[in-house]
Structure 1
Amino acid sequence: MERHQLLHRIKFLVLVFWGILPFSTFSQVSKAEMAIQSMMQSNPIVGLSVAVVKNNRVVYQHSFGLKDQEQHTALTDDCLFRIASISKSFSATAIMQLVEANKISLEDDVSKLLGFRIRNPRFPDVIITLRMLLSHRSSLHDSQGYFNLDVLNPEKNPNWAACYNQTEPGKGYLYCNLNFNLAGTIIERVSGERFDQYIKRHILQPLRIDGGYCVDSLDKSRFATIYEYSLESMKFKPSPAAYAPRSQEIAHYIMGYSTPIFSPTGGMKISTGDLARYMIMHSQQGKLAGTRIISKRSSKEMQTALSEEEHYGLALLQTDRLIEGKTLVGHTGSAYGLESMMFFHPKEKFGLVVISNGCHPEMLDGFNAVLKRTANVLYDAFVK
């Protein structure tokens, strides 16, 4: 038995000893792990890292497969992943902190917050608000790109109008990464702190979480290599761009404008266990271990869907399609080949985190099939 597997067994036995898990669960653990390992043997999967929360406590965490396919190094629980769009909830959490501090309002015109005009040319008199950004109801889309703000700035791009769709702002949902790179920029302009540093000081450090948006501030040896699967060649290819440090761009950083360099929309790097701790904070209405990150009111606002059509709140969505009979709150992520999900049930106090650094992209009920099947195996073993 490898060292990380031995430590995993010891951690589980400690949970049994302290009465957090019944001893009878031991057989369920073995059954669940066998099911996941069997799935990995019959499907193209590089690695899987999982965590289960029950009664708002992490009761199970384990990593399967490889961290680095070329070096054949095992994926372990301390590995860091770029979690893609789950990152949006960190940006929204920061915005809610600034709202609570009366520095901004969700109804503010983002043009005033950003310093250049943000208007759908088809509806020039309709302001686009911060709430619209966080709920994907701004009428913006990603067709012109979202890695810098020049595409949207009328002073920088004569084709800025192409960034908008035909729907009136506030009247329709369209998922858009640019929304959250704008939100991250607003965090920076309002707080006076560089985006990555704000998130670290006001969310990660209070929760004792080791992660962040700035590659150069993290231990690169912990990064799980991300792989994209080719349906044509049926092989995995590493995606080094997932952890591109962008050091040169940061050296010429313009506060309140260069923010997309850190990708507030998808650039958080974090371990599965720490993501589970962050999830518990949201499940407990903004508080973890005596530390309040956002108010109960802000937490409820983030988790409440604005429409029954898309079930999306403020960077958190509701779904009844992951676990049969359960309506969960959370988010998914997908980028560079990585697949991630974080979903919890606030009333029943359970949650699931599943991350793959490379797997088959097949979809099932709106989710990556590998992640959905893994989530159900974990639910049946530890929660049901």
Structure 2
Amino acid sequence: MIERYAQAVDAAVEAGAFLGGGMCVIESDGSEQAYVTGQVHPASATDPGCLDAPRIRMRMASISKAATARIACALAVEGVLDLDAEVRALLDWPDAPALMHGVSLRHLLTHLSGLTDAAGYIFERPQSPMAFIEARADEIGSGQGPGRWFRYCNLNFVLAGAVLEAVTGERFDLLARRYVFDPAGIGGGFNWAGVSVEERACRLPIYQRYGDRLERQTEPEMADWGADIVWGDGRGFAFADYVPVRDTLLFSPHAGLRMSVIEAARLARLLGDESPAGTLQRETQWKFDPTAPNGSDCDGHFGEFGLGLTIYRAEPRLPGPLIGHAGHALGFTGGVWHNEATGRSAALFLTGSADLTDGLDDEVFYGAEELALMQFLFSERQSG
């Protein structure tokens, strides 16, 4: 079987001129098989390096959102968190602008908040997520009230991370470790938090393609690798200086998770488990209605959505039923997926990709090479 996986990844990397790629499959019995190939750095680098270690960790972009949402689901099941409580109440935010009125944590996790990324979602300490939204309220709103319209928004998950800290009084990375990483068998972390300096050395920088040029986007060599948290530009931050709720963005709850492809497949398996939190997370919260449009489905990319989960139960281009989340940013292309019918879980990645959404306001459906890998992984022949 591993030979067929290798052939599929090799073909995708070659067809799309990617720098590298890989996949890991976990069968319903828990057996794991992984394969990676390609180069760590472009050929023009002094030492391109062969991508041959499946345990190498990388920034997996928006796949992070599924892990963040899983924390919320676990807390909801425990009775610690009310998903339908207003965010402004959970954050003790009496002066929240009008666009936040009626917005619940469930709205954030399902992209039904009415918020957009029009003003961005990255800011510097000591500004808090609340202060950021207050300062840009005129730009952030979509004009749609909460619960009415699906629009994919990174800011939702930055704010959701702050809510989780406000409700529990715990740092976001510790919540992720307890409710996601330890149960799934994941040694990685958000912006490297909780990962030892020695393990951080096995990291995959991500390069983005701009025509014939590849530019490094993550894991700069001169980063502060001994710090508790390593920000995307290489700056290090200490837990001792961390202020919960205000500083949650330092973990990048929307996109900062570093994992190996093996660990990513384990995340997919956790998302598909039959625990109360897993069942809650997979419940359909929103479904695109083509007869009376109720959101941006992005050509079927988001036809159905759970709590931080993309759902494909009737998408003809994909061999479902699949639940999971994709990641497309800064040269990373990939996803974590679980087949609800067969119990197969898988993760895939391609590096050195171009930005398919460049110049667009929304996500697009999967590129040809990624789509081919998804079809290969979950076709009846491979899953039988």
Aligned to 2:373: 374
Question: How does the TM-score come out when normalised to structure 2?
Answer: 0.80
CA contact (8 A) 1:227 1:238 kept: yes
Q: Provide, for residues 123-175 of structure 1, a one-character-per-residue CA deviation record: whole Å limited to 9, x for no partner.
A: x8x51111111111111111112124958636984442322111011111111
1:250-291 deviation line (CA, Å, top 9, x unaligned):
6642212110111111111111111212211222223xxxxx
- Residue 49 of structure 1 deviates from its aligned partner by 1.6
The answer for the alignment partner of 2:23 in structure 1 is: 50
Amino acid at match of 2:214: F
Give the distance between the partners of 2:180 and 2:4, measured in 1 at CA.
Answer: 36
Structure 1: distance between partners of 2:34 and 2:315: 23
> Counterpart in 1 of 2:48?
72
How far has the Cα of 1:365 moved from its partner? 7.5
1:213: which partner in 2? 190
Contact 2:121-2:154 at 8 Å conserved across structures: yes
Amino acid at match of 1:230: Y
Q: Which amino acid aligns with 1:300?
A: T
2:224 aligned residue: none
Residue aligning to 1:4: none
Summarize the alignment of residues 159-238 of structure 1 with structure 2, pairs less than 5 Å apart.
159-215=136-192, 217-218=194-195, 219-231=199-211, 234-238=212-216
CA contact 1:342–1:352 (8 Å) conserved in 2: yes
Q: Residue in 1 aligned with 2:331?
A: 337
Alignment partner, residue 7 of structure 1: none
Aligned partner letter, 2:330: Y
- Unmatched 5+ stretches in structure 1: 1-24, 287-294
- Given that 2:13 and 2:350 are in contact with CA atoms closer than 8 Å, whether structure 1 keeps it comes out as no
Structure 1 CA distance, aligned partners of 2:80 and 2:94?
20
Distance 1:45 1:84, change over 3 A: same
Aligned to 1:133: 108
- Tell me which amino acid in the other structure corresponds to 2:248: T
Matching residue of 1:357: 351
Where does structure 2 lack aligned partners over 5 or more consecutive residues?
220-230, 289-302, 358-362
Letter in 1 for 2:347: V
Which amino acid in structure 2 is aligned with residue 376 of structure 1? Q
- Given candidates 13, 18, 36, the residue that maps to 2:9 is 36
1:257 is aligned to 2:246: yes
What is residue 271 of structure 2 aligned with on the other side?
Answer: 282
Compute the displacement of 1:246 (Å). 3.5
**CA–CA distance in 2 between the matches of 1:355 and 1:67?**
13
Matched, 1:97 2:74: yes
Tell me the percent identity: 22
Q: Is the 8 A contact 1:57 1:280 kept in 2?
A: no
One-letter code aligned to 2:271: H
Query: In the TM superposition, what whole-angstrom CA distance separates every residue of 1:13-51 from its partner, at most 9, and x where no partner exists?
Result: xxxxxxxxxxxx4xxx43442343244334311111201
Q: Which has the higher helix share?
A: 1
Which deviations, in whole Å up to 9, do the C-alpha atoms of 1:301-358 show, x marking residues without a partner? 2112223203011101112448545231111011211111111112221232111232
Distance in 2 (CA, whole Å) between partners of 1:117 and 1:271 is 41
SS in structure 2 of the partner of residue 63 of structure 1: strand
Matched with 2:98 is 121
| Mapped contact 2:9–2:23 kept (Cα < 8 A) | no
2:217 maps to 1:239: yes
Give a deviation string over 1:46-70, Cα, whole Å, max 9, x none: 1112012332534421001122333
Equivalent-residue separation in structure 1 for 2:120 and 2:191 (angstroms)? 21
Larger radius of gyration: 1
Which residue in 1 is equivalent to 2:285? 306
Give the letter for the 1:111 counterpart: R
Q: How far apart are the structure 2 equivalents of 1:154 and 1:238?
A: 31
Residue 306 and residue 118 in structure 1: after superposition, are their counterparts in 2 closer, same or farther (change >3 A)? Answer: farther
Query: 1:325 and 1:206 mapped to 2: Cα distance?
Result: 28
Q: What is the root-mean-square deviation of aligned Cα atoms in Å?
A: 2.8
Contact 2:5 2:23 in 1 (8 A): no
Specify the alignment match of 2:383 in structure 1: 383
Query: 2:355 and 2:9 mapped to 1: Cα distance?
Result: 17
Check the 8 A contact 2:129/2:246 in 1, yes or no.
no
CA distance in 2, matches of 1:224, 1:344: 24
Distance 1:157 1:226, change over 3 A: same
Look up the match of 1:271: 260
Is the contact made by 1:188 and 1:256 (CA closer than 8 Å) also made in structure 2?
yes
The match for 1:318 is 311
2:294 corresponds to: none
Give the stretch that moved more between structures: 179-188 or 347-356. Answer: 347-356
